[in-house]
């Protein structure tokens, strides 16, 4: 009886221990806190100001992040719109090789393949087939298509990426497989009103 009771207690403690450890994986690889991505330009799940859209200046918004895990070598930032009427989310921005010490991006980054600020950062292809295809292009949903959600995702990596400027979103995602220490997301919205 005593042996059975001890085995049951041991099994219960292992089960509880496993459950509690799995719930802490949100913080990823011992970071001790969750990485957060914010913008002084808009609140999470709120409307992105027209300044940062095709209806305004169409410049990239400022971004800040904190809670970065130890061992971060580089960051990747991807912004896309899963509400776009296309088979895959519409890509608005691919920015990679952001140095690990960087904690913010200023507004209005130029549409250049290589950036001086952040130093060494590279920009990839957006989904547009004409005009500016490198760097940020802001929300431009079809009028009357409702509210679109723009997902800004920041990835902390444990190793530098070996990629050239002008990479696609898929090439970046493939290159960083197995190197993601943490991920943060900021969602902004935008809607165009039907004018006819």
Residue 188 has pLDDT above 80, yes or no: yes
Q: What is the mean pLDDT of residues 54-62?
A: 97
* Domain, as residue range, for 134: 37-190
Residue 150 included in any domain: yes
Residue 32 included in any domain: no
* Structural domain count of the chain: 1
Q: What is the pLDDT of residue 194?
A: 65
Q: What is the pLDDT of residue 23?
A: 25
Q: What is the pLDDT of residue 195?
A: 59
163: its two tokens: 């990629």
Q: What is the mean pLDDT of residues 106-126?
A: 97
Distance CA(168)–CA(96), nearest Å, equals 11
CATH number for the domain harbouring residue 51: 3.90.280.10
Residue 139 included in any domain: yes
43: its two tokens: 């609140």
**31-56 per-position pLDDT tens digit:** 445 999 999 999 999 999 999 999 99
Residue 119 included in any domain: yes
Residue 101 included in any domain: yes
Residue 15 included in any domain: no
Residue 122: left if φ>0, alpha if ψ -120 to 50, beta else—which one?
beta
**142-186 per-position pLDDT tens digit:** 988 999 999 999 999 999 999 999 999 999 999 999 999 999 999
Distance CA(22)–CA(64), nearest Å, equals 28
Q: What is the overall mean pLDDT for the chain?
A: 86
Q: What is the pLDDT of residue 193?
A: 76
Q: What percent of the chain has pLDDT over 90?
A: 80
Residue 9 included in any domain: no
Residue 183 included in any domain: yes
């Amino acid at each position: 009886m005593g042996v059975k009771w001890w085995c049951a207690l041991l099994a219960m403690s292992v089960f509880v221990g496993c459950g509690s450890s799995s719930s802490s994986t949100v913080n990823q690889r011992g970071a001790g806190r969750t990485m957060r991505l914010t913008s002084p330009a808009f609140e999470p799940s709120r409307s992105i100001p027209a300044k940062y859209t095709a209806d305004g200046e169409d410049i990239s918004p400022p971004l800040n992040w904190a809670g970065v895990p130890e061992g971060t070598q580089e960051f990747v930032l991807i912004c896309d719109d899963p509400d776009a009427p296309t088979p895959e989310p519409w890509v608005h921005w691919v920015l990679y090789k952001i140095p690990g010490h960087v904690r913010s991006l200023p507004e209005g980054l130029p549409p250049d393949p290589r950036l001086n600020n952040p130093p060494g950062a590279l920009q990839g292809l957006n989904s547009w087939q004409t005009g500016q295809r490198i760097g940020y292009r802001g929300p431009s949903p079809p009028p009357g298509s409702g509210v679109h959600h723009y997902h800004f995702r920041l990835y902390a990596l444990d190793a530098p990426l070996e990629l050239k400027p002008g990479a696609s979103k898929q090439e970046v995602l493939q290159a960083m497989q197995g190197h993601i220490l943490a991920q943060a997301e900021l969602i902004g919205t935008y809607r165009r009103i039907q004018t006819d």
